[in-house]
Amino acid sequence: MNDDIVRVFDTTLRDGEQAARINLNTGEKVQIARQLEKLNVDIIEAGFPASSPGDFDAVRQVAAEVRGPVIAGLARTKEEDITAAGNALASAARFRIHTFIATSPIHMEYKLKMTPAEVLKEVESAVRLAASITSDVEFSSEDASRSDIDFLAEVYALAIECGARTLNIPDTVGYAMPNEFGEFCSNIIKRVGRDGVIWSVHCHNDLGLGVANTLAAVRAGARQVECTINGLGERAGNASMEEIVMGLRTRFDHFGADTRIDTTKFFSTSKLVSHLTGVPVQPNKAVVGINAFAHEAGIHQHGVLCNRATYEIMTPESVGSPGTDLHLGKHSGKHAFGERVEQLGYHLTSDQLVEAFEYFKTLCDKKKDVSDGDIEAFLMDRIIQATPVRQYELMDYAVTIGSGGKPTASITLSHKNQDITEAAVGNGPVDAAYRAILRILNFEPELTEFKIRATSEQADAVGEAHVILRYKDIRAQGRGASTDIIEATIRAYIEAVNRLYSAAAAREVAI
């Protein structure tokens, strides 16, 4: 076994998506998984198949379509979870069942209501069952960092005896401190042994130490790191992949270990995940923030002009940070367009590419330069997000904004092959449009989030709207893009309505 390689286990689609307040649909998850494959991650945790039919379907689809990395599915120690994971993953080129149970006193007593002896029995039956389905079984002791180390050593030794080959030590609530966690991992590894197994860590970021704890564990002998793009995840998130990987790469002198990641794909992957989840990346975020390589202070600028290494410990190129937006125009051909789309991290089928190119040409008729941001916005709206079963489609809209009175909107939607038109007055044009749509719908979702942004600094930039609707505790997001910002907001709302229908149907909730 190559001991200076640290395996990267990405859990953006499971722990990351679990935390986003909206659900990604299967198509969006496949987009992210394809990009993770390009990034060269070793393992993709595609979801928790027993948690919902939507998750099962997404794991099945990722397993069928993404052939490079090992595809993992999460399962509690319950028989039905492990069977569901095995079924969802069956078509993968290589797959892993990742089973877990909590081992800390507080979780065992209050959450599981189990004694330590009962937990040991669960570990045994779950790992044996998983190992009867695949030779690649990972076992995690949830809340390991707050567990008794003697009990933990017993649990891991049993998991190995029953067939687990990856042993994960989670800092589930982000409680650990780097030195302490490094020592803790080192003690467990010494007591249980490392022959034929890989030790892994999974650190949450509640005290902002997810990456530091992960790196301390690598120093202690961990050779798998569990992480997410942009640090997405429960509460304050998981350790961020880009920070761990660049830490190892930049300070190989300190760690003597590295990953197989193609770091030049970080910037596009981060943008893709941010776009699809609607969770923005803070400008000063390490590695992928838009200011990560910006030098403002005069002294810094002077130093960088003399020699970039004065203030840059990694180059923007090494993480794929483009510096400036590239622009395409009406003379750009399908090939150049397709290449740009790939560089931005999107993976389209040939039919989707033809459709996207048509939109691109229409956009070129409206504006001279089409920026990366414009391309991303309309790809997301017209190509990637489209809910397969659509209840409502926008047919026409008109908004009148007078100088004195209130704006009026008239909207026509097609529903079950029938056009329905309604009009309403509102406090602003968007309010009027949304009121008119509500008159057409036969239910009333609550608008919980509404954002509009321009895709570039130009006056003719594409406007992108993002809304989240809630109905009976189901949340759905929708994005819309157009050179007309009112149209973008209407499209976003209708997409969210269509997604609410799909999510409600999956959960057998009536609308």
For residue 223, the minimal CB distance to ligand KIV (Å) is: 17
CA angle 283, 286, 288 (to 5 degrees): 65
Bridge partners (DSSP) listed for residue 366: none
Angle between helices 178-192 and 149-162 (to 10 degrees): 50
In angstroms, give the least distance from the CB of 236 to ligand KIV. Answer: 12
Question: Which of 26, 99, 134, 140 is the binder for ligand KIV (CB under 6 A)?
Answer: 140
**Which of 15, 17, 37, 45 touches Zn ion by CB under 5 A?**
15
Question: What tokens does 248 get?
Answer: 């190892």
Site for ligand KIV in 309-368 (CB under 6 A): none
Q: Rounded to whole angstroms, how far apart are CA atoms 130 and 119?
A: 16
In a 10 Å sphere around its CB, with 0-12 CB exposed, 13-18 middle and 19+ buried, how is residue 396 labelled?
exposed
**Which range of residues in 25-33, 58-66, 164-172, 391-399 is near ligand KIV by CB under 6 A?**
164-172
**Smaller CB separation from ligand KIV, 172 or 230:** 172
463-471 vs 474-482, strand pairing mode = antiparallel
**Residue of the chain from 142, 242, 381, 495 that contacts ligand KIV (CB under 6 A):** 142
Closest CA to 249 of 314, 321, 293: 314
From 7-15, 17-25, 158-166, 412-420, span contacting Zn ion (CB under 5 A): 7-15
Tell me which of ligand KIV, Zn ion, none is bound by residue 29, counting a contact when its beta carbon lies within the kind-specific cut-off of 5 to 8 angstroms. none
The one-letter amino acid at 423: A
Tell whether residue 96 is a contact of ligand KIV (CB under 6 A).
no
For 240, which DSSP code? B
Which pairs count as long-range contacts for 113-119, CB under 8 Å and 24+ apart, including other chains? 116/151, 119/155
Strands 95-102 and 474-482: unpaired
C-alpha span between 88 and 60 (Å, rounded):
5
Nearest approach in angstroms of CB 234 to Zn ion is 6
Nearest CB to ligand KIV, comparing residues 155 and 348: 155
Per CB under 5 A, which region of 12-20, 215-223, 436-444, 458-466 contacts Zn ion? 12-20
Using an 8 Å Cβ cutoff, are 224 and 166 in contact? yes
Give the type of residue at 6: V
Nearer to Zn ion, 100 or 357 (CB): 100
Q: Give the Cα-Cα-Cα angle 426, 430, 436 (nearest 5 degrees).
A: 60
- Min dist. Cβ of residue 232 to ligand KIV (A): 13
Pure H helices in 9-52: 17-19, 26-39
Q: Does 73 bind ligand KIV (CB under 6 A)?
A: no
Residue closer to ligand KIV (CB basis): 60 or 98: 98
Q: Of ligand KIV, Zn ion, none, which one sits near residue 347, judging by CB under 5 to 8 A according to partner kind? A: none
Q: Pick out residues in 192-211 that bind ligand KIV (CB under 6 A).
A: 202, 204
103 binds, among Zn ion, ligand KIV, none (CB under 5 to 8 A by kind): none
Six-digit token string for 239: 């350790």
Smallest gap from Cβ 334 to Zn ion, in A, equals: 42
Smallest separation (angstroms) from ligand KIV to the CB of 233 = 8
Task: Of 63, 54, 56, 53, give the one whose Cα is nearest residue 30.
Answer: 63
Region from 166-174, 206-214, 322-330, 449-457 binding ligand KIV, contact rule CB under 6 A: 166-174
Neighbouring C-alpha atoms within 13 Å toward the C-beta of 2: 9
The reply to whether 271 sits near ligand KIV by the rule CB under 6 A is no
Quote the least distance from Cβ 227 to Zn ion, whole Å: 10
Q: Which does 96 bind (CB under 5 to 8 A by kind): Zn ion, ligand KIV, none?
A: none
- Helices within 307-428 (DSSP H only): 334-343, 350-366, 372-378
Between 15 and 487, CB nearer to Zn ion: 15
Find the shortest distance in angstroms from Cβ 203 to Zn ion: 9
Q: Does 172 bind ligand KIV (CB under 6 A)?
A: yes
100 binds ligand KIV (CB under 6 A): yes
Residue 142 binds which of ligand KIV, Zn ion, none (CB < 5-8 A, kind-dependent): ligand KIV
Q: What is the 3-state secondary structure (H, E, C) of 248-315?
A: HHHCHHHHCCECCCCHHHHHHHHHHHHHHHCCCCCCCCCCCCCCCCCCCCHHHHHHHHHCHHHCCCCC
Q: Which is nearer to ligand KIV, 136 or 142 (CB)?
A: 142
Could you say which residues in the range 14-43 bind ligand KIV, by CB under 6 A?
Answer: 15
Enumerate binding residues for ligand KIV (CB under 6 A).
15, 100, 140, 142, 168, 170, 172, 202, 204
Enumerate binding residues for Zn ion (CB under 5 A).
15
